Amino acid sequence: MSINLEQFSAANKVAVDSLLSVANTALASAERIAALNLNTARSVIEDTVSGAKAALEAKDPKEALSIQASLAKPNIEKAVSYARSVSEITAQNQEEFTKLVQAQFADFQKTAADLLEKATKSAPAGSEAAVSAFKSAFAAANTAFGNMSSVAKQFAETAQTQMTSATNATIKAVSKK
């Protein structure tokens, strides 16, 4: 069995489309992170200038320290919000990449199963053991990918849960002060 030019061309088109999807996903995530960073930098600069002006307008050092202390809680809350936003963007990006990989693997599985079926039909007599071994290897690869996907999903969920817990603990600690 040989692969004709149309099959080769179609396979290359799928590969290019997949690469484009991955690149677009990565660029969209980078764009969101860049926008978040720019907005955060702008906010930090504005808050710093505002805080400095307020401290300079204070009547005495005690009032200046009080003003600076009052700015600490909102700054911590903003830092927590920033961390939460980065975590959300990262989680969404990871989810998109997972979907892309799963879709590509599903296409690969279908193509490989079709090729295996064709090879089985055109296999010479006496090659049943080799065909059976290849089918077993293919089934094992599918199982391994399923297990890997499950572990990756659990890892991502655990990381997200821990990030949320840490964020909530920080917010509670800041709120008590």
Q: What is the mean pLDDT of residues 108-132?
A: 77
pLDDT value for 139 = 79
Measure Cα distances from 27 to 20, 22, 24, 30, 34 in Å. 10, 9, 5, 5, 10
* pLDDT band of 3, cuts 50, 70, 90: low
Asked whether the predicted pLDDT for residue 113 surpasses 90, the reply is: no
| Spatial separation of the C-alpha atoms in residues 157 and 132, rounded to whole Å | 38
Q: What is the pLDDT of residue 1?
A: 45
Q: How far apart are alpha carbons 101 and 107 in whole angstroms?
A: 10
Confidence class of residue 175 from pLDDT cuts 50, 70 and 90?
Answer: low
Separation of alpha carbons 57 and 10, rounded Å: 70
- Averaged over 156-176, what is the pLDDT? 73
pLDDT beyond 80 at 149: no
7-11, 24-28, 156-160: lowest mean pLDDT where?
A: 7-11
Residue 115 has pLDDT above 80, yes or no: no
Q: What pLDDT score was predicted for residue 37?
A: 95
Could you tell me if 157 and 95 are in contact, meaning their C-beta atoms sit under 8 angstroms apart? no
Share of the chain above pLDDT 90, in %: 18
Q: How high does pLDDT run on average in the chain?
A: 81
Confidence bin at 76 (pLDDT 50/70/90): confident
DSSP label at residue 60: S
| For range 65-78, the mean pLDDT | 86
Q: Does the pLDDT value for residue 66 go beyond 80?
A: yes
CA distances for 60 relative to 47, 66, 94, 156, angstroms: 21, 10, 51, 51
- Which of 19-23, 27-31, 122-126, 130-134 holds the top average pLDDT? 27-31
Q: pLDDT-derived band of residue 152, with 50, 70 and 90 as boundaries? A: confident
